[in-house]
Amino acid sequence: MVLDPRKHADWEIAEEAESRMKTVWQLADEMGLEKDELLPHGHYVAKVDFKKVLERLADRPDGKYIDVTAITPTPLGEGKSTTTMGLLQGMGKRGKNVIAAIRQPSGGPTMNVKGSAAGGGLSQCIPLTPFSLGLTGDINAVMNAHNLAMVALTSRMQHEFNYSDAFLAKQGITRRLDINPRRVEMKWVIDFCAQALRNIIIGLGGKMDGFLMESGFAIAVSSEVMAILSVAKDLKDMRERIGRIVVAYDKKGNPVTTEDLEVAGAMTAWMVEALNPNLLQSIEGQPVFVHAGPFANIAIGQSSIVADRIGLKLADYHLTESGFAADIGFEKFWNLKCRMSGLKPHAAVLVATIRALKCHGGAPMPVPGKPLDPAYTEENVEWVEKGCENLIHCINIIRKAGVNPVVCINAFHTDTENEIKAVKRAAEAAGARVAVSEHWLKGGEGALELADAVIDACEEPNDFRFLYELDTPLRKRIELIATEVYGADGVDYSAEALAKAKRMEADPEMQKLGVCMVKTHLSLSDNPNLKGVPKGWRLFVRDILVYKGAGFVVPMAGTIKLMPGTSSNPAFRRVDVDTETGKVRGLF
């Protein structure tokens, strides 16, 4: 029995579909995995030993590589994960050998307003409960590795402050690091949206209670350790990257790394198992890798390179997901992930909804947790046409990369024929293929038109190229992203950010790093309230962080924070457990 998404919640649909799931052994056999390459975590979830797979299939040519991104979303999201699952299922219906890679959801949005990011309706990743609630422990490993660096830092500061050189030498500490408490770069992390922890004081009490200083928390998926999980090529690469993490600076301005704190090896020990991608499945039984979990507005926002590498070896088509919209998720896929992986995409799917286009065209902003304004269920072609300015801008971002764009109209049952025709006209006039997909309502059968368009796009030659080369000065790179991708008139800097940028430009080591922007996902600009394609604005960079281990500098634009806040009507209010069966209810 297949449940109707218009009448049943996502968790109900997932629960019914889970009664028909393939075991991980069945899934592995269909994918062509060897028995010793599968590391089961129960009957329906496993990790895959990526090293063994890549060694065995080293000579096999890669399949076609497809990225899924979106137009600028509303706060409700526009269905990238749902579309990724639907496209996976649709291509499966066409008889294609296809695998998808999506990101692991953070407990922050899962228990807040966004939900678990498993997809929705008849296009979901299952089993839903483990997917949503920790999976095989990768995010927990990231938290432990990251916070261990903070334990090492704060204990070292306490001991150096309280004890003599002679005493420290007896403990095996032969060099004072002289850490500047005003230049500690890292914070602690937790995997919830906890605004009360953004700014804290630690070390209160006496001499034995730590070093007294300001500190704070960020959300776990914004951690540089999570970024490293996303981009690391193998365990050796991960170990080297973790050792390069800059935790603080000393009183002379020199960086203090995890290697200096002698904690990098222990941090890596927490991450060994996490480096293997997790294997789950779609509602219709296609394989899905779930690996890495960073947001694209405050981190790199990509599923992992290792998941993509094994997906491309095992399948003829591999789908990968980039967070949020084309201006941030796709831009980082383009200029960071592809540069680091050496992989080049054959096509990019740009997800659009009539709802988001209406929002960009003048409809009231949707508010999570509140009923949707009737404007979104009543026909208004004028708003849709106006909102298509944002769609066209995002198409052009993808075309700047030399990639073939396919616009997916992620259809809702309230969309009208005239509204859909307006989007088709705009997309085709901008030189993109366009397909209407009803995967949320109909699963793979509803995504056949989209599957055909993507398969067709993959056969067309493209001319992939980066927006900038690494010898381009830092401020010029930021300017290129701001003007060529976002549509800004230029870039302004706070005094602190400008001083940091100048220091980085003078450092040859920093010149090798990419640029990973932190910016709101709700606008092409740095102001979340500006919809459509804003004109006459300048990007404001207030700070620049260094993620030397991950391999990029992180300009912080606008007022966005690395620790989101929990809303007044969070999702956890609707999550509970059936005490008779132990099944979790209410996840979405």
| Cβ atoms within 10 Å of 253's Cβ, excluding its own | 9
Residue 508, exposed/middle/buried by CB under 10 A (0-12, 13-18, 19+)? exposed
Which residues, 6+ apart, have CB-to-CB distance to 505 below 8 Å?
473, 474, 475, 511
DSSP annotation string for 267-302? HHHHHTGGGSPEEEEETTS-EEEE-----TTTS--B
DSSP annotation string for 461-486? ------SS-TTS-HHHHHHHIIIIII
- Please state, in angstroms and rounded to a whole number, the distance separating the CA atoms of residues 48 and 322: 22
Q: How many CA atoms lie within 13 A of 187 on its CB side?
A: 21
**Backbone torsion region of residue 582, taken as left when φ is above 0, otherwise alpha when ψ lies between -120 and 50, otherwise beta:** left
Which residues, 6+ apart, have CB-to-CB distance to 19 below 8 Å?
none
DSSP lists the bridge partners of residue 190 as 219
| Cβ atoms within 10 Å of 309's Cβ, excluding its own | 23
Which residues, 6+ apart, have CB-to-CB distance to 175 below 8 Å?
none
Which residues, 6+ apart, have CB-to-CB distance to 367 below 8 Å?
75
Sign of CA dihedral 558, 564, 568, 569: positive
Kind plus residue range of the DSSP H or E element containing 141? helix 138-162
Q: How many residues does the chain have?
A: 588
Residues with catalytic annotation? 80, 82, 103, 114, 296, 324, 412, 440
